[in-house]
Amino acid sequence: IAGITQAPTSQILAAGRRMTLRCTQDMRHNAMYWYRQDLGLGLRLIHYSNTAGTTGKGEVPDGYSVSRANTDDFPLTLASAVPSQTSVYFCASSVQAGVYNEQFFGPGTRLTVL
C-alpha cells in the first residue's frame, strides 16, 4: 500500500508557466487537502475536498485551483506561477472530514518559481 503519493518530488518553474502538482491516495479516503509550507509560517491550507465532486477554499486559495473528479486524485494547478508560490506543497487525506479523523500526509513537492 503506497498511501499518498505526490509528483513531482521537486520542480523549478519559470514565472508565468502553468503547473499541476499531482496527488494520489489509495486508501479510499473521502477527504483530501492541499497545504503549503513556508519557513516561519507553518503549514497553511490552500484547498480541500470533503468528497469526490466537491472542493472548498482554505486559508490561502488565491492563484491555485483544484479538482476532484474521483476519490483517489486531487491535483493542484497553478495557472500562472509567480515567485511567491515558491514553497513546499503537501497533500493530505482523511477518512472523513470530521473531528475523529486524523490526516495522513504525502512526502511533499518542493516548487521553485523563478
Closer of 14 and 40 to another protein (Cβ):
40
- For the CB of residue 41, give the shortest distance to another protein in the complex, in Å: 8
**The one among 7, 13, 27, 45 contacting another protein by CB under 8 A:** 45
The answer to whether 7 contacts another protein (rule: CB under 8 A) is: no
Classify residue 1 as exposed, middle or buried by CB count within 10 Å of its CB (0-12, 13-18, 19+).
exposed
Kindly identify the residues of this chain, within the stretch 56-85, that bind another protein according to CB under 8 A.
58-59
Q: Are 34 and 89 in contact (CB under 8 A)?
A: yes
> Binding residues for another protein, per CB under 8 A?
4, 33, 35, 40, 42-45, 48, 58-59, 90, 92, 97-100, 102-108
